[in-house]
Copies of this chain bind each other. A is one copy, B any other.
Amino acid sequence: MASENIRPVMTAEEVNTYLAQVYPQLNDTLAEYYAVSVAPGQCVVRLDASQKHVRPGGTVSGPSLFTLADIGGYVCVLSHLGQEALSVTTNLNINFMRKAEPGPIDGHCRILKMGRSLMVFDIEMRSPPGGPVVAHATGTYSIPPRK
């Protein structure tokens, strides 16, 4: 389903190590959001949702799921283009479909297009992993010119 002609240049473990090194102020957050796996044209990211991600009613908050979607797109760019890629999100559209409860939430992320200046992706978020889709997002990252 994903773009077939692109290959990752970093593993999930390398992505997580890199993020912890360059974003030391995010280390608390990175313990909760992280890459699970990387494959050609796709990746899986996870949020270990706890009480701090929950809004009244016991549901994982919209901003927490948005963050998972945004990180999914970033891990796709980083794992496929490497560490030089200082890309930024330009657009993200998210639909919330079902209540997500605390616990692991998996984001299955696909690269729909890896262009010269834009990467387009979508992500299905399932809670619990393998369960129903709780949210779905589509987004665009702007990729800076590569040397």
Contact = CB atoms under 8 A, between A and B. Distances in A.
Given A22-B56, A133-B112, A95 B140 contact: yes
Given A89-B96, A92-B93, A122 B122 contact: yes
Interface in A87-111: 88-98
A15 to B, nearest CB: 15
Contacts of A113: 95, 97-98, 133
Contact of A90 (B1, B22, B95, B133): B95
Contacts of A55: 23, 26
Interface string A13-27: 000000000110110
Interface residues of A, number: 39
Interface in A55-87: 55-56, 62-63, 66-67, 70
A94 to B, nearest CB: 6
B133 A136 contact: no
Contacts of A94: 91-93
Contact of A136 (B98, B124, B138, B142): B138
Contact of A63 (B25, B66, B91): B66
A67 B64 CA distance: 9
A118 interface: yes
